[in-house]
Amino acid sequence: MNDATGLFPIHPDYERVASDVRFDHATDLQLEQPAKHWTLADLGYPASVRDRFPSEVAVTAPFRILSPVGTAKLQRVVRTLREAPVGRSVDKPAASGTMIRGTVHRSSYIRDLIGSALLRDHMRKTTDVAVQPTCLSHELGHLNIPPTDAAQPAVRWHCDTNAVVLVVNVFDTSDLDGGEFQFFDGPRAEGRALLAAGMEIPEERIVTPGMTEAGWGVLLQGAAVLHRASSLRTPGERVTMASAFDPVDATFPDPNRFYPLGGVPDSERSIEIDAQFFELARYSARRSEYLLGRYLRDAEWSTDPSTIADDLARCVADVTEALDILRRGGISRSAAQALREEKDAELFDV
């Protein structure tokens, strides 16, 4: 049932770790349904915005994903990754903690777990939408490790730039003070406006669903949910593993905002930075492949060349945009920001 092979070619430059830890869905998964979930409507999104998302589910309550056996295996892999030399990979030094990326290239365990068809089927039942691990392989299995400074949130308030995100709690954190997954009980623009004005999110608008058990996780349509991990006030082992999944149906607006930057100086380059162009190519190819397949199956006869051209252009819009970025060798920070704002407005404006 492990069929991740083929989703992305394994990057040859990463050091492999813990290759003796093998994923076995029969012993490692213990998939349970969340006791509840919050819908986009619960967060205050109007129907005109909700209709642009493939699922009504905004964020689930925590649910069990891994058995004790699977949890112990993942913990071993994560500890090994944390200590492994990174070579040209970047343990992205976020101001609010550390992020280890590229884990699906380094660990066959994480690759096979995320690629598990059983996990994918479970996610479909939970969100009512068929998903697949994103072709942006660096958005799979990345590990968030909180800062040692207890004044900093473990992960700052943010929205994801992917469609469906699975966050797995790797270690038991029930004895720790803080470090909990939390989300804003409202539309993202409202929460962001508070933060932009230098205000705190009011306590009564913060939901803490209680993801403290190891091997448990949440699913969220992360672009629509402002979320964070609270400050870790006691030292302890807290790691979350986040993975992006895309709806198989590529007709929904794409919340991904991945735009490779051009002219990155050599001192800032890494495997992840250098991989961006190929990642974008594969990601856009997957979306256009779906839309072209649908066109071949479902398009109706027309005699109007401009209508036909428009329909065809919509199918290849992602590839067309990717080609433009690739031929320019990446785009500037300001151009990427302008694109993000333009597409966020299309997705969230009422």
Report, in Å, the least distance between residue 227 CB and Fe ion: 6
CB contact at 8 A, 218 and 94: no
Burial of 57 (C-beta count, 10 Å sphere; 0-12/13-18/19+): buried
Q: Closest CB to Fe ion among 160 and 185?
A: 160
Q: Measure the CA–CA gap between 157 and 167, rounded to whole angstroms.
A: 15
Closest residue by beta carbon to Fe ion: 160
Q: Closest CB to Fe ion among 153 and 330?
A: 153
Q: Closest CB to Fe ion among 186 and 330?
A: 186
Report, in Å, the least distance between residue 63 CB and Fe ion: 17
Q: Measure the CA–CA gap between 126 and 122, rounded to whole angstroms.
A: 6
CB contact at 8 A, 7 and 111: no
Q: Measure the CA–CA gap between 341 and 350, rounded to whole angstroms.
A: 15
Report, in Å, the least distance between residue 278 CB and Fe ion: 24
Report, in Å, the least distance between residue 144 CB and Fe ion: 8
Task: Please report the beta strands in the chain, taking only residues with DSSP state E, as ranges in sequence order.
Answer: 37-39, 57-60, 63-64, 91-94, 97-100, 131-133, 142-145, 153-158, 164-169, 181-184, 206-207, 216-220, 227-231, 240-247
CB contact at 8 A, 196 and 246: no
Q: Closest CB to Fe ion among 160 and 318?
A: 160
For residue 99, give the 3-state DSSP assignment: strand
Report, in Å, the least distance between residue 242 CB and Fe ion: 6
Q: Closest CB to Fe ion among 2 and 231?
A: 231
Question: How long, in residues, is the chain?
Answer: 350
Q: Closest CB to Fe ion among 222 and 330?
A: 222
Report, in Å, the least distance between residue 160 CB and Fe ion: 4
β-strand partners of 170: none
CB contact at 8 A, 70 and 119: no
Give residues in contact with Fe ion (CB under 5 A): 160
Report, in Å, the least distance between residue 156 CB and Fe ion: 10
Q: Which residue has the tokens 């398009």?
A: 299
Amino acid code (one letter) for 57:
V
Q: Closest CB to Fe ion among 116 and 221?
A: 221
First to last CA, the chain: 42
